[in-house]
């Protein structure tokens, strides 16, 4: 049974030697447990923070212990009432091919209602992050302009589509021309900007947002956010969802001071962790499932095959190799 451990805490960008593959004896399900076979593994930018030995909203991974993330698994044996062989479940699970589990925190998922991988993306953590962060903090109104950074990723692509459903003008910022094209053609963004080839991002955002920016959904931080914040309107709302451009930084980032803008524009900036909105999850899942069925919402996935590919898929997030949700199919 293959297991992936945290071998070393990364300095800067994570590298292959930060992970270690080991073989352990095949686990067995004891009384009160299920035996799970890993089917789909979610790799997520936030795991980078858990690889550091620092205090956060979630404890760090321990050295020489398994890495873990959102997983869809199949119950291959059950000695736990409520679970049967053949059920599919999702939860935060170890990076192991098979594992025994007491069921706590596991949620059954229906393979007939949606693709199993969707429970790690649009109907899972990243979809909920997009919905809750946008609705609860961004509070967009029809006719307003939303800018989203990290727009072609799992969270960003859903934020933009919800913005369109709500009648907003939506502008995305992403790192390749292919992503820019996908945002406009597949996800119906009004405009998209390639931040890697645009020399004056502030001017590009201004041109793409003729009436200014009312909501800035920030997945990235630093220079990209500076360019957007220079274009915000009075009473702008800024859900701060992530700062992926800074997760591998080894020195503190110093950017333009934004306080005068925040005052002059009476803007609201609020960071959040999706779990804070747990009470909204049933509504969010119901609404997004309806939009999916109606064809108003769609999603992209980059699916990498093979358990051994989990660390590489994770590292590739920081190279922008994914369109939509990055998933490993085991």
Q: Which of 123, 162, 274, 292 binds ligand NDP (CB under 6 A)?
A: 274
- Tokens of residue 5, six digits: 């451990």
Least gap, CB of 200 to ligand NDP (angstroms): 17
- Tokens of residue 213, six digits: 């920016």
Helix and strand numbers (H, E) in the chain are: 9, 15
Based on the shown chain and the rule CB under 6 A, indicate whether residue 171 belongs to the binding site for ligand NDP: no
Stretch that binds ligand NDP, among 69-77, 205-213, 230-238, 267-275 (CB under 6 A): 267-275
Stretch that binds ligand NDP, among 80-88, 251-259, 292-300, 312-320 (CB under 6 A): 312-320
Q: Which of 103, 289, 320, 329 binds ligand NDP (CB under 6 A)?
A: 320
Based on the shown chain and the rule CB under 6 A, indicate whether residue 72 belongs to the binding site for ligand NDP: no
Based on the shown chain and the rule CB under 6 A, indicate whether residue 70 belongs to the binding site for ligand NDP: no
Q: Which of 154, 162, 168, 232 binds ligand NDP (CB under 6 A)?
A: 154
Least gap, CB of 263 to ligand NDP (angstroms): 25
Q: Which of 317, 327, 328, 330 binds ligand NDP (CB under 6 A)?
A: 317
Number of residues that bind ligand NDP (CB under 6 A): 31
CA 127 and chain centroid, separation = 8
277 DSSP 8-state letter = G
Least gap, CB of 100 to ligand NDP (angstroms): 28
Within 13 Å, how many C-alpha atoms sit on residue 294's CB side? 9
Site for ligand NDP in 227-246 (CB under 6 A): 241-245
Residue-wise burial string across 18-55, b where 16 or more C-beta atoms lie within 10 A, e elsewhere: bbbeeeeeebebeeebbbbebbbbbbbbbbbbbbeeee
Q: Which of 90, 145, 219, 225 binds ligand NDP (CB under 6 A)?
A: 219
Based on the shown chain and the rule CB under 6 A, indicate whether residue 180 belongs to the binding site for ligand NDP: no
Rg (CA), the chain: 20
End-to-end Cα separation, the chain, in angstroms: 13
What is the secondary structure of 59-99 as a DSSP string?
PPPPTTSB-EEEEEEEEEEE-STT--TT-EEEEEEESBSEE
Alpha helices in the chain (DSSP H): 46-50, 125-132, 154-165, 177-185, 201-208, 222-229, 259-264, 281-294, 310-317
Site for ligand NDP in 110-149 (CB under 6 A): 125-126, 129
Cβ closer to ligand NDP: 194 or 233?
Answer: 194
Q: Which of 56, 234, 83 is nearest to 145 (CA)?
A: 234
Q: Three-state DSSP class for 282?
A: helix
Q: Which of 138, 140, 153, 160 binds ligand NDP (CB under 6 A)?
A: 153
Based on the shown chain and the rule CB under 6 A, indicate whether residue 175 belongs to the binding site for ligand NDP: yes
Q: Which of 100, 174, 182, 292 binds ligand NDP (CB under 6 A)?
A: 174
Q: At what angle do helices 222-229 and 201-208 cross, to 10 degrees?
A: 50
Contact residues toward ligand NDP (CB under 6 A) are 44-46, 125-126, 129, 150, 152-156, 174-176, 179, 219-220, 241-245, 272-274, 317-318, 320, 322, 326
């Amino acid at each position: 049974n293959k297991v992936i451990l945290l071998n070393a805490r990364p300095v800067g960008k994570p590298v292959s030697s930060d992970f270690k593959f080991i073989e352990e004896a095949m686990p067995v399900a004891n009384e009160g447990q299920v035996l799970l076979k890993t089917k789909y593994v979610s790799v997520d930018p936030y795991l980078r923070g858990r690889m550091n030995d620092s205090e956060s909203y979630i404890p760090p991974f321990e050295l020489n212990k398994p890495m873990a993330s959102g997983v869809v698994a199949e119950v291959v044996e059950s000695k736990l009432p409520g679970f049967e062989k053949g059920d599919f479940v999702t939860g935060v699970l170890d990076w192991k091919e098979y594992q025994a589990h007491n069921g706590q925190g596991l949620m059954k998922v229906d393979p007939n209602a949606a693709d199993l991988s969707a429970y790690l993306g649009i109907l899972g953590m990243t979809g909920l992050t997009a919905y809750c962060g946008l609705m609860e903090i961004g509070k967009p109104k029809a006719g307003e302009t939303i800018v989203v950074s990290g727009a072609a990723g799992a969270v960003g692509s859903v934020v933009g589509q919800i913005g369109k459903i709500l009648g907003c003008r939506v502008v995305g910022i992403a790192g390749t021309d292919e992503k820019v094209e996908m945002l406009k053609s597949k996800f119906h963004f009004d405009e998209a900007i390639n931040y890697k080839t645009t020399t004056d991002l502030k001017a590009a955002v201004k041109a793409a947002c003729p009436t200014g920016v009312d909501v800035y959904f920030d997945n990235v931080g630093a220079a990209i956010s500076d360019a957007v914040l220079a274009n915000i309107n009075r009473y702008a709302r800024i859900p701060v969802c992530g700062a992926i451009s800074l997760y591998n930084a080894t020195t503190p980032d110093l950017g333009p001071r934004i306080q005068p803008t925040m005052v002059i524009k009476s803007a609201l900036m609020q960071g959040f962790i999706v779990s804070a909105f747990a009470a909204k999850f049933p509504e969010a899942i119901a609404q997004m499932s309806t939009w999916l069925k109606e064809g108003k919402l769609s999603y992209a996935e980059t699916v990498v095959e093979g358990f051994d590919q989990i660390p590489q898929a994770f590292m590739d997030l920081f190279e922008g190799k994914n369109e939509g949700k990055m998933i490993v199919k085991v």
